[in-house]
Amino acid sequence: MNFEGKVVLVTGASRGIGVAIARAFAKEGAFVIVNYLRNKMLAEKVAAECIQLGGDGYAIQGDVTSEAAVNQMIEEIILEAGKIDVVVNNAFKSFQFNPETRKLAWEVQWEDYQGQIDGAVRSAHYICQAVIPIMKKQSQGSIINIITNLVERPIVPYHEYNTAKTALMGYSRNLAAEVGSFGIRVNCVAPGLVYPTDASRTTKENLKELIIAQTPLKRIATPEDIAGPVLFLASDWSRFMTGQTLYVDGGFVM
């Protein structure tokens, strides 16, 4: 794949899956915009790695759950790069994949749902609203939203997280139907459990072993495993795909 001359915004790109996605795009020559919320040092390190890998990198702070912050961030990106070809909505509200500490259905408060919905859907909505006018002028663009394979098979019912990601899948399909005529594609990538990440750090070994036992490829995903499908959906190789969800979990939901 060749992303030379392409400008790629990856939200939540200072750690975990976001770092792997940013590096993968940079290896293919992209100008990667590394969005972060708090850790400027980590984000600037990722941007520097993008340059070393053969692409370009630019770290930019922005709270993606704030409409004003998103609009300011997109304006800065346009001033810096002139366009936005690809958006990867990877940022989400912090969550721990630990069955022992999760809230049960009768314990979850609406505020718990709202926090995850804001982190997943609200943030993607603000980003998409800001970039769609830019992509319409370009008559092309690719938006990839990171969800989870738990929308298909909630082996652990993380109620607020799973509900928010399911809503993001629905949002993505509706958006794909709306913007397709402008040459803009919207797809989702749904990873299984990914390790190591901050969210999976507290996942118990017995749960990992259970997932591995039910996974045809007999292992848990690494952040790098998620990057390839994201690049595929961003590339011309998938130019006739929109409104789709790629499950990247070694066959777990099959």
**Which residues does the annotation mark as catalytic?**
161
Contact predicate 236/4, CB 8 Å: no
Q: State the DSSP H helix or E strand holding residue 154, giving kind and residue range, or none if neither.
A: none
Round to whole Å and give the CA distance between 73 and 228.
Answer: 26
Pinpoint the alpha helices (H) of 82-158.
Answer: 110-117, 123-138
**34-57 burial, b if ≥16 CB within 10 A, otherwise e?**
bbbbeeeebbbbbbebbeebebbb
Closest among 151, 153, 29, 141 to 89, alpha carbons compared: 141
Name, in order, each residue with C-beta under 8 angstroms of 21's C-beta and a sequence gap of 6 or more. 10, 13, 88, 90, 223, 226, 227, 230, 231
